[in-house]
Structure 1
Amino acid sequence: MLVAFSVAPGTAGADGSVHDAVAAAVQVVRDSGLPNRTDAMFTTIEGEWDEVFDVVRRATDAVLALSPRASLVLKADIRPGWSGELDGKVVRLERAMEGQA
């Protein structure tokens, strides 16, 4: 499964930034060893249900260690029997785009 999620503290720093708390969450994801990718809005992680949601929980806990409140948004693509989809979906999209040119 792929899970794209965003977790942020309920309170921002003096400059309105949340990057320290988000960095703590992303570090948990990177330390997990699961395939992952972070962009400007979400972190996507790939693995089995229990391992992915354990990482999401621990990433949320990392934010809660820095703020009394957290906001979590997630989207999941659950496709049993498939792996490598963090890149596979993009490869198929690019191939489809080449066919349209």
Structure 2
Amino acid sequence: MLTACGALYILNGFLIGWVNAYTVLTGITSPADVSPQWCAWPLSLTGWAAVPAIIGAAAGYVITEQIQAHHARELSDVLDELHRLSEPPGPPPPSGSGQ
């Protein structure tokens, strides 16, 4: 999908100009305002539908990875560690100078 979007952008860059291709892709310029329009309309639709889908998929992947990283420990392990940390400290070590 990224390859198709990139190829469409490159094609439009050569045919309508790089600035126009960017502004059509981002929705700043209507594809009806550039020439030739036959290649600008698919680019505009790609910018409207595919680009948000790609960004959403990437964000979803990153968020899922972060959630999985935080769920890597079992609840019993977490509770055992909390119990261990909440225990009172042991006796102080003996002073060792001996003189």
Identify, as 1 or 2, the structure richer in strand.
Answer: 1
* TM, length-normalised to structure 1: 0.28
Relative to its length, the structure with more helix (as a share) is: 2
**TM-score, normalisation: structure 2:** 0.29
Higher-RCO chain (CA-CA 8 Å, sequence separation at least 6):
1
